[in-house]
Structure 1
Amino acid sequence: MKTAEEPARRLEQTLERLRKELAEMQIQDQKLLLTLRHLHSVLEELRSESAHWEDAMSSRGTSPIRARAGSEGRGQQPLAFRRLAQLLHGADGRRSSLP
């Protein structure tokens, strides 16, 4: 026999589960926001380095293609490029909660 309290108990359990899921989603949103802000700062740094590189190459009269090939041949990437590559490949040590 079902009592009148049983539906209320199930409703309370459902609400508690939803509160817990909402709290987890808020934490995930905060982490995503921090990642987005970090990516934005890395992209700004890349833009700055790119503008500096283009200005330096145009002032020297060096072909950007030849200059770029020379830097790639030495295997040196700007720090911002390495950091962006690490972020995109998940080398920052964070696990994704997505399936």
Structure 2
Amino acid sequence: MKTGDMPALNLGQTLEWLRKELIEMRAQDQRLLLTLRQLQSALEELRADSAHWDDVRSGGGASPIRIRAGSEGRGCRPHSSGRLIQLLPDADSRRSSLP
């Protein structure tokens, strides 16, 4: 009779493990979605800044370098790709587990 009970026990343990994995995967998907939305927002910001500087360059007026240096001197923070890197999840957060 032990052999008849073992598959049911193994199946129950396997199903429980699978439920836990699916719950963790759902949570990871939510975190990745949040990160994707933050990256999208940061990219839109960078595109807007890029379009602004393209307009300034094509406008002919003062040098974009001088204008930018002036805005930085007034406490405006320049945008950089460093912010995008901060939004990327760590490689350690990826899961790879087996039963």
Residue ranges of structure 2 left out of the alignment (5+ in a row): none
Partner SS for 1:79: coil
CA RMSD of the aligned region, Å?
A: 3.1
1:32-55 deviations in whole A, cap 9, x for unaligned? 010001000000010000001100
Partners of 1:47 and 1:37 lie apart in 2 by 15
Partner SS, residue 41 of structure 1: helix
Structure number with the bigger relative contact order (C-alpha 8 A, sep ≥ 6) is 2
Q: Percent identity?
A: 56
Deviation at 1:9, TM superposition (A): 1.1
Which range is displaced more, 27-36 or 78-87? 78-87
Which residue matches 1:60? Answer: 60
Mapping 1:72-91, distance limit 5 Å:
78-79=78-79, 81-88=81-88
1:20 partnered with 2:20 = yes
Residues of 2 paired with 1:28 and 1:85: CA distance?
19
- SS of the aligned residue for 2:92 comes to coil
Residue identity opposite 2:28 in structure 1 = Q
Look up the match of 2:49.
49
If the length of structure 2 is used for normalisation, what is the TM-score? 0.69
SS, match of residue 29 in structure 2: helix
Q: Tell me the number of residue pairs that the alignment of Structure 1 and Structure 2 aligns.
A: 89
Is the Cα contact below 8 Å between 1:39 and 1:84 reproduced in 2?
yes
The runs of 5 or more residues in structure 1 that have no matched partner are: none
Structure 2 distance, partners of 1:9, 1:20, is 17
